[in-house]
């Protein structure tokens, strides 16, 4: 049963992602990416990562992707015309395929690295908000703070870059 | 729920805290138009304060951030690196002032982001965990994306920022995936844990994962230090970025990546030295070769300096092979000197560009020797230093670096490196030739008026420092040696 | 012996002068400062020379203090018989050169004086350094003033010439740098002490095959600057300072290549001699084909430099002493020749021999001096070059008779190309209108050339004071080169170096 | 229990598909989305490993990565907008004035 | 020995005084009229001192007539030590006397000849400098000092030949002289180096005292090399080409340098090194053969020359050949004897010729060459003193008894007859030719009808006293000079010259002496041939008989007139090729190959740079692609490293 779920999510994710990078219409691309996000969220759930799954949907699919959509609509982008990457395209696919071989070989040989996953997923509360929250404010206090700074910088940056009145379109 | 609160040493991250606060203060003050002129000086002051904080902590030994997980550590290595970044930032601010005014980018955010970037670099330097490193890297990168694109009106600035952003994010993806693999292999992202896994008995599978992870990290860090073949962005971005930002980019961000490399490899390298040496040495030599050879045919000064900085990254990669304290110390020393040199070089361009037409190509330098003797002298000193001619610091740095390499037993690499540095002379000297031995075709726009005092101060300072270190390198050498002493 | 740090004063005084020049306004003032400082150096040097004890082979006036301790580098200077002679000729030539180019250099006078003084410092530093690192520092540092001097005040196409020279020189030096580092490393391996002391490194025993490569690296650096064929093609374009370089590079051969790599020399010395001899003939032949005075002098320098190298690699006392004397005399004869030629060119603005002729009656004083320098270059007995050349030949003859014979043909060719030049420039009918109004030498010019002439004759007639000055030092060097004695000189052992820390 | 390898392979596929997207698309926004895909691939690995070890640290990483991704997207989109304003296009193969 | 050295300690003044004279003339004296006085005075002083040396020396017993006077230590390095030191022995004393004596006369003569020249200060300082160098050459006690003088005289010869340097031909001739001399010097230096290598010293005393066994392996090489040096200096075939050209110099210079003194340095050197030469039969043969060949070769050329000074020049070459012939057959004394007598009569001939030229220079119309014999004739009555003194000198050189040349030439031929009959025949023939061309010169100049126009004839004047007195003095010497060495057959023990020199050559094996009747027969034969030569010249040039035109094939005549085309041959075979090689080295090897190679290397690097540069397309995804390639490489490396 689990395997079917896995296969379902996996196939949806891969198919949507491949479709996304092939799709010419940017709006469809965004939607396809959201599909990928949701499938991944499903996989997270299967991995006992409820909190992350929620975040994935709420923040990633919900907020970030909407931002994409927003910008695309703002710029009123139409379909992408035929690419100029005549050589680049097949080369890129080939390279990605080639790169897949060692990476896949690497991860397939891993097989847990001598560890076996705990059957109950690491005990009660694994992947739940409380446990994560505790860790965030103890062990991972510093990274969280840095992340806060990061967000601040991003905000400032985005504002600085897009502040109106300094640049007119097509200048 | 019984949660034991960890013991936290805020003291251990004091420099980073001070830097972030400083940046935020600058940001806030910058919102007020009436303080506009004072912002750079405020930035300088705050940077100085952070510097003092860092200096005060020197020698207080390794202090981890908390007892639960180290994440960051306060040690001489990180502090020295931080000081270098701060010094670089100070010089950058100094050369920015007139340039920023001329380009109307003299806003609080500019300086704030500069200091944020420094804080990011400082975080990278102090990190002992991949995650803090990654976050520090992002702090740095995001600040830089904005800084590079700061000249909104300028298509080049925009293009550079976009390129740097896309490739930087791409590289971040690699780093992240590498971190995931490393996490999978060792169950943690701390350097020490990774080193332990490497050092202990391990299956081939884990081994592969570790190596793969490190390989991906290498791609990401290689991108930051412009190692061939991850260097392609460098000239475009330097050319597009506002000149002071390019200076900062070529020194600070590269230095930060190197610092991480030293710390990371210092921990994990003993476990895989034999396996990595051929790869890194080939890449290093390629980096040196590509940087120098392409710089030969450049006429755009910023691109020329970009390729030169690629070549210098190659030199700095070499002593990693030696895997010795000397090697690491030589890189630190080289970084310090390199910071002064490259800031000097870009600084000259920035100061010149602040007046009228941008100083872009070699031809623009024609006759500078008689038009602006002091500026030309600074540029000459810097060029000779970059070329590694005594009595400049560049020579000492190269000497120390290649010494460490030879002492590690890599004479052939040293010879190759030295020969390519001979090639590099050609383009460094071409700059001098244009300044001193070619008359200007017509009087350029920048010929009129005074150059900015602050910029000239910064340039003279760095030129003097280059000469002083060239003649009396002892103190700085000791500092570099002391810095790496605390590394494992 | 007095307590004054003579050598440091001699080395650093010109730098002080250069700094002083930065605050001087006006060309004439700058000239006087440059000349005054170099004259002061000469005076200092004379005092120093007076106190020099010729019977000692060890460095004298030694100064030593720690400098870059973590690299095992110390500021260690001293003068032995060889270095004091070469430094002496430098000290002498500098005021003369500045005086000689008083009006020849009329652009950017102040910068010219600054660079000349800086170059004097680096030269003195090279001669007096007893620490290999210090030596290299001065050696490389000299490139900067030299680069500007060639590039800014050189003749046509000078920027390119300067660049070419610089690249040549640097490629050689970089190889040497690698070898220097390796030497220190080897010493560190053997004695666990990091040091660049020449005296200590001399004692190092290096496996012959390693020696071979290290020696090649050193030779590369020196061969480029001497210059030896085929590394000479920068010279015709950058002749201005050729004589200085011969001095330095030959000193490098003597001071470093010989004592550091005695085993490698067994293979390399004959080879070097052969190449040098070939260079003598080659340079002379090409000089023969020149109609440009500057290029002619350049190729004659290449030819003469061949003699110097030949003498050094004879590896015996005659050869080395001859080489040193020849270097000194080259500075005077070729230097004088070039200076005189520059004076002429200043008046007529062309280097083409064919543009002159019939000057004998127009400017007799100049012609007389030119004759002296020409004859000195030809190696006429009684003038300085003969002593050096003959001693070199004596030295080489003891090792390689055929090579010496080939080298000696250079004597014939020298006569041909030199006299050919002299005939074209000075003799013959006065055909060109513009040559009729040429001024003869001024008092200043006459004084400069006369001073050089005096020394040329002195060395030619009574060279023994010079030979005696270096005799003990050369003997000591040979002991080192042939490893005749196993005892380390002057208590230089790894332990003592350690103690000195 | 699905073996962790499955997840890892999937994550590798997503990562590489994302990378391919970066390489072949002209539209800067889609390129940015490709990068997002790469990050998601990496995230999946983190979570899979976390499950494997029974340690929740991996989740935290994902949490932080999402933050980073958000920041990057903000800046990236800002730059794209700026690009569009400057040049009226978001096709990055047309943005090549800096070269050689 | 010590007190002896002291008693001769003044000898350094002999070379030094002329140097002082030169110095004064260059730096102090500005008055042309005084310059000649100064020059003469210093040389006169030297001559007196040389006389003093001579008398001091004959006061000493035979065995002690060789004194080294060290002035100072010159070059010392390790085992190599050479002093500035003078050797006083009969040989050097003879040379000193000849050099200073004849030199003095020529100096005096020069006052008259050159006194009007604007540059006579320079002239006299050169001349004095030459005296200095020549004296160093003959007085030095070691090879190196000899070499100093050797090159020094070469220099002065160069300067004096090129004295009228605004004449292109003079400048060229000077250079030619120097360069050809250098070729000899090159061999000379190699000889010195070999000597030092084997004998360990360059001092005559040490070298000549060295064990012959030590030198044996290289003695032939040494002596031949030294002899090549001598050939250069003494203008022996094939290095004779410079001497005829050297006639571009002022005539007194030709008399002094290119007849009486410098060119004989080679002979002096060979005589000085007789110890070495005697050890190598090959070298002796070479010396004799070269001498003989040169003698007849130059005489043959002299037969047809029209330039008065060229005739004399070839005659000098020929006579020098005689001297070498003497040395080669072991009659060193004879060689030196001929050197002395030749100095007298050849100097006189040149000065006489100079007197004629001097007179004609003022008399002839513009464009007429005052040195061309075809522009002379019938001057006998116009210039009586010159004519008479030249007649005596011509008789002397022709070997007519009892003039000076007779005795010395006779001795040489005797030596040749004893040791090398074939060469004796050559010498004999040369003697006849000498008589012919010398009288041809005399007849064409002074005899017969004048070929001057009436106006010109009126302007011809006998030279002034200051010129004629030296002529007369030398005429006396040419006439009676031979009596210092009267052969044994005439009066036993009257060979004072040989007796004086005997200590020097004492080491040689006793010369074979043929019976008196043979010797006398030889003399008569020689005289007869000389007379035949004179008769021939008289027939052709006074009588105007064209017998030779009919007898001699045109080719032989042209060969002589064109000097065997030696200069042309050298131009084609040596000078041209060297020039071509030089150009080739420069244009092809240096500019194209070495420099071009470097340029090519630089270009290669640049083009590599350009190639890589253009991968920088500006398209960001290209860069990303390159990164992926890099990642692939890294991964390939990793998996390859750990793979199966």
Question: pLDDT, tens digit, for every residue of C159-198?
Answer: 888 888 888 888 889 999 999 999 999 999 999 898 999 9
E423, HSE (Cβ side, Cα atoms, 13 Å) = 30
Q: How far is CA E338 from CA E325, E341, E390, E480, in A?
A: 11, 5, 18, 14
Strand partners, B362: none
Q: Calculate mean pLDDT across residues D68-89.
A: 91
**Which band of pLDDT confidence, cut at 50, 70 and 90, is reported for residue C493?**
very low
Mean pLDDT is lowest, of C86-90, D15-19, E117-121, for E117-121
In chain E, pLDDT over 70 holds for what percent of residues? Answer: 99
Query: What is the DSSP track for C240-281?
Result: GGHHHHHHHHHHHIIIIIHHH-HHHHHHHHHHHHHHHHHHHH
What pLDDT sits at residue D4? 86
pLDDT digits 0-9 by tens, B458-485:
999 999 999 999 999 999 999 999 899 8
Select from B87, B81, B101 the least CA-distant residue to B40.
B101
pLDDT digits 0-9 by tens, E213-264:
888 889 999 999 999 999 999 999 889 999 999 998 899 998 888 888 899 9
| Structure token pair of residue C261 | 């790599």
CB E422 within 8 A of CB E344: no
What pLDDT sits at residue B446? 58
What pLDDT sits at residue D38? 95
Round to whole Å and give the CA distance between E159 and A47: 108
Query: What is the DSSP track for chain D?
Result: ---HHHHHHHHHHHHHHHHHHHHH--BHHHHHHHHHHHHHHHHHHHHHHHHHHT-THHHHHHHHHHHHHHHHHHHHHHHHHHHHHHHS--BGGG--SS--
| ipTM of model | 0.91
Partners of residue B216 in chain E, C-beta under 8 Å = 631, 634
CB C201 within 8 A of CB C187: yes
pLDDT digits 0-9 by tens, B233-246:
999 999 999 999 99
| Closest Cα in chain E, distance from residue A26 (Å) | 18
CB B71 within 8 A of CB B193: no
Give burial (CB, 10 Å; 0-12/13-18/19+) of E172. middle
CB-closest option in E614, E617, E621 to D23 = E621
Q: Is the pLDDT of residue C491 over 60?
A: no
Give the H or E element holding residue B236.
Answer: helix B233-240
Give the H or E element holding residue C27.
Answer: helix C27-51
- Distance between first and last Cα of chain A: 59
Round to whole Å and give the CA distance between B165 and B146: 9
**Which band of pLDDT confidence, cut at 50, 70 and 90, is reported for residue B292?**
very high
Q: How far is CA B60 from the centre of its chain?
A: 25
CB E170 within 8 A of CB E309: no
Residue contact B236–D98, C-beta within 8 A:
yes
CATH no., domain D26-92: 1.10.287.3510
Give burial (CB, 10 Å; 0-12/13-18/19+) of C501. exposed
Q: Where are the alpha helices (DSSP H) in E372-515?
A: 384-398, 404-419, 421-446, 454-459, 465-480, 496-501
DSSP-assigned letter for residue B154: -
Interface chains of chain C (3 or more CB pairs under 8 Å): B, E
Mean of pLDDT over chain E: 88
Question: Long-range pairs for E279-282 at CB < 8 Å and ≥24 separation?
Answer: E279/E212, E279/E215, E279/E216, E279/E219, E279/E223, E280/E219, E280/E220, E280/E222, E280/E223, E280/E224, E282/E220, E282/E224
What pLDDT sits at residue B356? 66
pLDDT digits 0-9 by tens, E227-240:
999 999 999 988 99
What pLDDT sits at residue E190? 93
Mean of pLDDT over chain B: 89
CB-closest option in E613, E619, E624 to D96 = E619
For helices E308-328 and E404-419, angle between their N-to-C axes, nearest 10 degrees: 40
DSSP-assigned letter for residue E588: I
Give the H or E element holding residue A147.
Answer: helix A141-162
**Which band of pLDDT confidence, cut at 50, 70 and 90, is reported for residue C208?**
confident
CB-closest option in C290, C358, C467 to E76 = C467
Q: Calculate mean pLDDT across residues C371-381.
A: 92
Strand partners, C77: C63, C129
Q: Is B1 part of any domain?
A: no
| Structure token pair of residue E554 | 């045109």
Mean pLDDT is lowest, of A149-163, B267-281, C287-301, for B267-281
CB C407 within 8 A of CB C393: yes
Q: Calculate mean pLDDT across residues A95-104.
A: 88
CB E322 within 8 A of CB E416: no
What pLDDT sits at residue A168? 39
What pLDDT sits at residue E465? 86
What pLDDT sits at residue C219? 93
Select from B150, B115, B103 the least CA-distant residue to B27.
B115
What pLDDT sits at residue C162? 84
* Nearest Cα residue in chain B from E619: B163
| Structure token pair of residue E489 | 């057959």
Kindly calculate the radius of gyration of chain D based on its CA atoms and give it in whole angstroms: 17
Give the H or E element holding residue C14.
Answer: helix C6-21
**Which band of pLDDT confidence, cut at 50, 70 and 90, is reported for residue E145?**
very high
Give the predicted TM-score (pTM) of the model.
Answer: 0.92
What pLDDT sits at residue E3? 60
Q: Is the pLDDT of residue E615 over 90?
A: no
Pairing of strands B73-74, C73-79: unpaired
| Closest Cα in chain C, distance from residue B433 (Å) | 6
What pLDDT sits at residue E475? 92
What pLDDT sits at residue C348? 86
The total domain count for chain B is 1
What pLDDT sits at residue C2? 52
**Which band of pLDDT confidence, cut at 50, 70 and 90, is reported for residue C500?**
very low
What pLDDT sits at residue A126? 80
What pLDDT sits at residue A165? 53
Q: Calculate mean pLDDT across residues C21-46.
A: 93
Q: Calculate mean pLDDT across residues C343-371.
A: 89
Residue length of chain A: 171
Query: Which is more confident, C221 or B5?
Result: C221
pLDDT digits 0-9 by tens, B47-86:
999 999 999 998 887 888 887 777 888 899 999 999 999 9
| Closest Cα in chain D, distance from residue A162 (Å) | 6
pLDDT digits 0-9 by tens, A36-46:
999 999 999 99
Angle, vertex CA C415, rays to CA C409 and CA C418, nearest 5: 130
Interface of C with B in 188-207 (CB under 8 A): 188
What pLDDT sits at residue E2? 56
Round to whole Å and give the CA distance between E147 and C380: 10
User: Residue C234: which residues within 8 A CB-CB, separation 6 or more?
Assistant: C161, C164, C165, C168, C169, C227
CB-closest option in A99, A105, A106 to E628 = A99
**Which band of pLDDT confidence, cut at 50, 70 and 90, is reported for residue D62?**
very high
**Which band of pLDDT confidence, cut at 50, 70 and 90, is reported for residue E93?**
very high
Partners of residue A98 in chain E, C-beta under 8 Å = 632
Select from E128, E138, E121 the least CA-distant residue to E107.
E128
Q: Calculate mean pLDDT across residues C488-496.
A: 43
CB-closest option in D35, D52, D53 to B173 = D35
CB B411 within 8 A of CB B419: no
What pLDDT sits at residue E641? 60
What pLDDT sits at residue C460? 92
Residue contact A75–D53, C-beta within 8 A:
no
For helices B393-407 and C158-191, angle between their N-to-C axes, nearest 10 degrees: 40
pLDDT digits 0-9 by tens, E535-546:
989 988 888 877
pLDDT digits 0-9 by tens, B406-437:
988 899 999 999 999 999 999 999 999 899 88
DSSP-assigned letter for residue E574: I
Is B475 in the C-facing interface, judged by CB distances under 8 Å?
A: no
CB B462 within 8 A of CB B383: no
Partners of residue C393 in chain E, C-beta under 8 Å = 189, 193
Round to whole Å and give the CA distance between C43 and B241: 56
What pLDDT sits at residue E1? 46
What pLDDT sits at residue A81? 61
In chain A, pLDDT over 70 holds for what percent of residues? Answer: 84
Mean of pLDDT over chain C: 88
Interface of E with D in 619-638 (CB under 8 A): 619-621, 624-625, 628
Range of the domain at B38: 10-485
Q: Is the pLDDT of residue B276 over 90?
A: no
Interface of E with C in 578-607 (CB under 8 A): 578-579, 581-583, 585-587, 589-590, 594-595, 598
CB C297 within 8 A of CB C370: no
């Amino acid at each position: 049963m689990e395997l079917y779920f896995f296969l379902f999510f996996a196939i949806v994710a891969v198919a949507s992602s491949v479709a996304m990078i092939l799709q010419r219409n940017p709006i469809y691309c965004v939607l396809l990416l959201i599909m990928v996000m949701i499938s991944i969220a499903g996989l997270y759930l299967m991995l006992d990562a409820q909190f992350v799954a929620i975040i994935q949907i709420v923040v990633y699919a919900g907020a970030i992707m909407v931002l994409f959509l927003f910008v695309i609509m703002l710029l009123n982008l139409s379909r992408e015309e035929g690419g100029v990457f005549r050589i680049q395209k097949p080369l890129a696919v080939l390279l990605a395929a080639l790169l897949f071989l060692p990476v896949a070989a690497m991860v397939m040989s891993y097989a847990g690295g001598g560890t076996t996953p705990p059957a109950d997923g690491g005990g009660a509360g694994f992947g739940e908000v409380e446990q994560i929250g505790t860790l965030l404010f103890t062990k991972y206090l510093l990274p969280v703070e840095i992340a806060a700074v990061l967000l601040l910088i991003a905000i400032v940056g985005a504002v600085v870059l897009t502040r109106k009145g300094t640049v007119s379109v097509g200048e | 729920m019984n949660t034991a609160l960890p013991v936290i040493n805020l003291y251990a991250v004091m420099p980073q805290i001070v830097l972030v606060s400083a940046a935020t203060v600058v940001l806030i003050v910058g919102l007020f138009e009436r303080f506009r002129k004072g912002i750079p000086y405020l930035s300088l002051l705050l940077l100085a304060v952070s510097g003092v904080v860092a200096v005060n902590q020197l020698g207080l030994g390794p202090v981890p951030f908390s007892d639960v997980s180290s994440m960051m550590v306060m040690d001489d290595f990180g502090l020295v690196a931080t000081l270098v970044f701060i010094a670089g930032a100070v010089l950058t601010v100094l050369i920015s002032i007139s340039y920023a005014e001329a380009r109307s980018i003299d806003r609080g955010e500019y300086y704030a982001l500069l200091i944020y970037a420094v804080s990011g670099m400082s975080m990278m330097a102090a990190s002992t965990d991949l995650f803090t490193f990654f976050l520090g890297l992002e702090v740095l990168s995001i600040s830089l994306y904005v800084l590079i694109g700061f000249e909104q009106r300028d298509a080049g600035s925009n293009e550079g920022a976009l390129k740097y952003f896309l490739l930087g994010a791409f590289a971040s993806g690699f780093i992240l995936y590498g971190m995931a693999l490393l996490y999978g292999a060792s169950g943690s992202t701390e350097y020490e844990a990774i080193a332990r896994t490497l050092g202990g008995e391990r299956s081939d599978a884990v081994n592969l994962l570790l190596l793969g992870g490190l390989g991906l990290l290498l791609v990401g860090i290689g991108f930051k230090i412009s190692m061939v073949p991850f260097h392609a962005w460098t000239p475009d971005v330097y050319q597009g970025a506002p000149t002071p930002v390019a200076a900062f980019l070529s020194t600070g961000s590269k230095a930060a990546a190197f610092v991480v490399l030293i710390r990371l490899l210092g921990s994990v390298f003993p476990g895989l030295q034999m396996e990595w040496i051929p790869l890194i040495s080939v890449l290093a030599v390629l980096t040196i070769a590509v940087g120098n050879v392409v710089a030969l045919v450049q006429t755009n000064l910023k691109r020329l300096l970009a390729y030169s900085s690629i070549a210098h990254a190659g030199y700095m990669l070499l002593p990693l092979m030696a895997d010795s304290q000397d090697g690491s110390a030589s890189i630190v020393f080289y970084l310090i000197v390199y910071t002064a040199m490259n800031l000097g070089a870009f600084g000259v361009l920035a100061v010149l560009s602040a007046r009228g037409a941008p100083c872009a190509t070699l031809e623009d330098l024609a006759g500078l020797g008689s038009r602006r003797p002091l500026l030309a002298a600074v540029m000459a000193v810097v060029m000779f230093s970059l070329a590694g001619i005594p009595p400049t610091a560049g020579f000492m740095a190269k000497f120390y670096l290649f010494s460490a390499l030879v002492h590690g037993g890599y004479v052939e690499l040293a010879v190759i490196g030295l020969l390519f540095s001979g090639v590099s002379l050609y383009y460094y000297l071409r700059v001098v030739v244009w300044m001193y031995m070619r008359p200007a075709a017509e009087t350029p726009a920048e010929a009129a008026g005074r150059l900015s005092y602050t910029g000239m101060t910064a340039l003279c300072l760095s030129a003097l420092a280059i000469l002083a270190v060239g003649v009396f390198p002892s103190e700085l050498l000791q500092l570099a040696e002391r810095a790496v002493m605390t590394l494992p | 012996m007095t307590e004054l740090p003579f050598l440091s004063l001699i080395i650093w005084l010109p730098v002080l002068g250069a700094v002083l020049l930065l605050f001087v306004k006006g060309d004439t003032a700058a000239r006087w400062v440059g000349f005054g400082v170099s004259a002061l150096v000469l005076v200092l040097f004379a005092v120093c020379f007076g106190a020099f004890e010729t019977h000692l082979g060890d460095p004298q006036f030694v100064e030593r203090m720690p400098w870059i301790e973590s690299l095992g580098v110390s500021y260690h200077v001293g003068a032995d018989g060889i270095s004091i002679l070469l430094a002496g000729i430098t000290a002498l030539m500098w005021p003369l050169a500045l005086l000689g180019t008083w009006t020849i250099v009329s652009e950017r006078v102040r910068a010219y004086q600054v660079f000349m003084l800086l170059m004097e410092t680096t030269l003195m530093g090279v001669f007096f350094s007893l620490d290999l690192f210090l030596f290299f520092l001065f050696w490389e540092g000299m490139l900067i003033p030299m680069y500007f001097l060639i590039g800014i005040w050189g003749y046509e196409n000078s920027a390119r010439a300067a660049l070419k020279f610089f690249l040549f020189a640097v490629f050689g030096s970089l190889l040497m740098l690698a070898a220097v580092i390796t030497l220190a490393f080897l010493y560190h391996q053997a004695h666990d002490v990091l040091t660049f002391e020449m005296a200590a490194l001399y004692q190092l025993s290096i496996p012959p095959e390693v020696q071979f490569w290290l020696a090649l690296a050193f030779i590369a650096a020196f061969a480029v600057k001497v210059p030896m064929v085929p590394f000479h093609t920068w010279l015709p374009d950058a002749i201005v300072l050729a004589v200085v370089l011969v001095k330095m590079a030959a000193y490098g051969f003597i001071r470093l290549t010989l004592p550091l790599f005695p085993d490698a020399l067994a293979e390399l010395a004959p080879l070097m001699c052969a190449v040098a001899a070939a260079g003598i003939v080659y340079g002379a032949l090409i000089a023969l084909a020149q109609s440009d005075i500057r290029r002619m002098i350049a190729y004659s320098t290449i030819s003469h430099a061949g003699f110097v190298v030949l003498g050094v690699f004879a590896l015996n006392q005659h050869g080395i002493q001859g080489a040193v004397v020849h270097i000194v005399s080259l500075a005077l004869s070729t230097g004088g020749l070039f200076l005189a030629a520059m004076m002429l060119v200043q008046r007529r603005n062309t280097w083409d021999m064919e543009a002159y002729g019939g000057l004998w009656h127009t400017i007799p004083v100049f012609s007389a001096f030119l004759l002296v320098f020409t004859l000195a270059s030809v190696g006429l007995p009684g003038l300085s070059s003969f002593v050096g050349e003959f001693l070199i030949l004596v030295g080489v003859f003891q090792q390689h008779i055929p090579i010496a014979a080939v080298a000696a043909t250079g004597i014939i060719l020298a006569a041909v190309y030199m006299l050919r030049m002299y005939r074209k420039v000075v003799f013959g009918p006065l055909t060109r209108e513009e040559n009729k109004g040429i001024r003869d030498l001024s008092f200043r010019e006459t004084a400069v050339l006369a001073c050089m002439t005096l020394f040329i004759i002195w060395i030619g007639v009574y060279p023994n004071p010079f030979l005696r000055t270096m005799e003990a030092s050369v003997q000591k060097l040979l002991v080192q080169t042939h490893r005749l004695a196993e005892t380390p000189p002057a208590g230089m052992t790894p332990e003592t170096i350690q103690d000195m820390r | 229990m699905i073996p962790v390898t499955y997840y890892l392979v999937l994550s590798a596929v997503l990562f590489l598909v994302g990378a391919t997207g970066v390489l072949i698309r002209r539209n800067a926004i889609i390129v940015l989305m490709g990068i997002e895909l790469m990050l998601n691939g990496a995230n999946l690995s983190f979570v899979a490993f976390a499950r494997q070890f029974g340690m929740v640290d991996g989740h935290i990483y994902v949490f932080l990565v999402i933050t980073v991704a958000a920041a990057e997207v903000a800046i990236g989109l800002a730059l794209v907008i700026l690009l569009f304003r400057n040049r009226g296009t978001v096709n990055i193969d047309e943005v090549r004035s800096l070269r050689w | 020995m010590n007190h002896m050295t002291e008693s001769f300690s003044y000898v350094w003044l002999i070379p030094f005084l002329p140097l002082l004279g030169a110095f004064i003339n260059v730096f102090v004296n500005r008055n042309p009229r005084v310059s000649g006085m100064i020059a003469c005075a210093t040389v006169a002083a030297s001559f007196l001192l040389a006389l003093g040396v001579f008398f001091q020396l004959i006061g000493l017993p035979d065995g002690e007539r060789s004194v080294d006077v060290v002035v100072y230590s010159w070059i010392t390095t390790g085992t190599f030590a050479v002093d500035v030191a003078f050797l006083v022995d009969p040989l050097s004393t003879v040379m000193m006397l000849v050099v200073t004596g004849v030199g003095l006369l020529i100096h005096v003569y020069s006052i008259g000849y050159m006194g009007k020249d604007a540059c006579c200060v320079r002239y006299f300082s050169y001349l004095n400098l030459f005296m200095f160098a020549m004296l160093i050459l003959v007085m030095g006690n070691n090879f190196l000092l000899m070499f100093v003088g050797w090159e020094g005289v070469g220099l002065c010869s160069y300067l004096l030949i090129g004295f009228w340097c605004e004449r292109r031909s003079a400048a060229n001739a000077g250079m030619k002289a120097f360069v050809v001399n250098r070729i000899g010097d090159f061999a000379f230096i190699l000889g010195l180096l070999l000597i030092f290598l084997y004998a360990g010293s360059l001092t005559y005393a040490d070298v000549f005292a060295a064990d012959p066994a030590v030198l044996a392996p290289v003695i032939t090489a040494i002596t031949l090399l030294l002899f090549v040096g001598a050939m250069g200096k003494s203008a022996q075939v094939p290095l004779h080409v410079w001497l005829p050209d050297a006639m571009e110099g002022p005539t007194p210079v030709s008399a002094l340098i290119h007849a009486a003194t410098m060119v004989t340095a080679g002979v002096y050197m060979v005589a000085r090194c007789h110890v070495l030469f005697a050890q190598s039969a090959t070298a002796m043969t070479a010396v004799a053969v070269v001498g003989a060949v040169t003698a007849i070769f130059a005489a043959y050329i002299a037969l047809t020359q029209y330039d008065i000074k060229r005739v004399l020049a070839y005659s000098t070459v020929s006579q020098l050949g005689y001297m070498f012939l003497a040395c080669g057959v072991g009659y060193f004394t004879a060689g030196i004897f001929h050197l002395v007598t030749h100095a007298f009569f050849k100097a006189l001939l040149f000065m006489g010729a100079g007197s004629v030229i001097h007179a004609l220079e003022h008399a002839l119309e513009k464009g007429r060459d005052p040195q061309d014999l075809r522009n002379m004739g019938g001057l006998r009555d116009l210039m009586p003193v010159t004519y008479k003194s030249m007649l005596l000198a011509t008789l002397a050189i022709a070997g007519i008894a009892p003039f000076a040349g007779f005795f010395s030439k006779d001795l040489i031929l005797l030596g040749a007859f004893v040791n090398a009959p074939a060469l004796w025949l050559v010498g004999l023939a040369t003697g006849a030719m000498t008589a012919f061309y010398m009288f041809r010169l005399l007849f064409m100049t002074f005899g017969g009808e004048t070929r001057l126009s009436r106006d010109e004839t009126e302007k011809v004047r006998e030279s002034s006293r200051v010129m004629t007195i030296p002529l007369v003095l030398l005429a006396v010497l040419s006439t009676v000079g031979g009596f210092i060495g009267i052969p044994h057959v005439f009066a036993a023990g009257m060979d004072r010259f040989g007796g004086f020199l005997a200590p020097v050559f004492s080491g040689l094996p006793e010369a074979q002496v043929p019976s008196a009747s043979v010797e006398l027969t030889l003399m008569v034969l020689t005289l007869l041939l000389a007379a035949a030569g004179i008769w021939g010249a008289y027939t052709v040039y006074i009588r105007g008989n064209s017998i030779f035109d009919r007898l001699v094939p045109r080719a032989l005549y042209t060969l002589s007139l064109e000097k065997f085309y030696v200069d042309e041959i050298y131009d084609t075979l040596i000078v041209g090729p060297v020039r071509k090689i030089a150009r080739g080295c420069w244009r092809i090897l240096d500019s194209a190959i070495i420099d071009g190679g470097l340029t090519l290397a630089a270009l290669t690097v640049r083009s590599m740079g350009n190639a890589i540069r253009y991968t920088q397309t500006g398209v960001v995804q290209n860069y990303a692609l390159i990164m992926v390639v890099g990642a692939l490489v890294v991964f390939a490396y990793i998996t390859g490293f750990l793979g199966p």
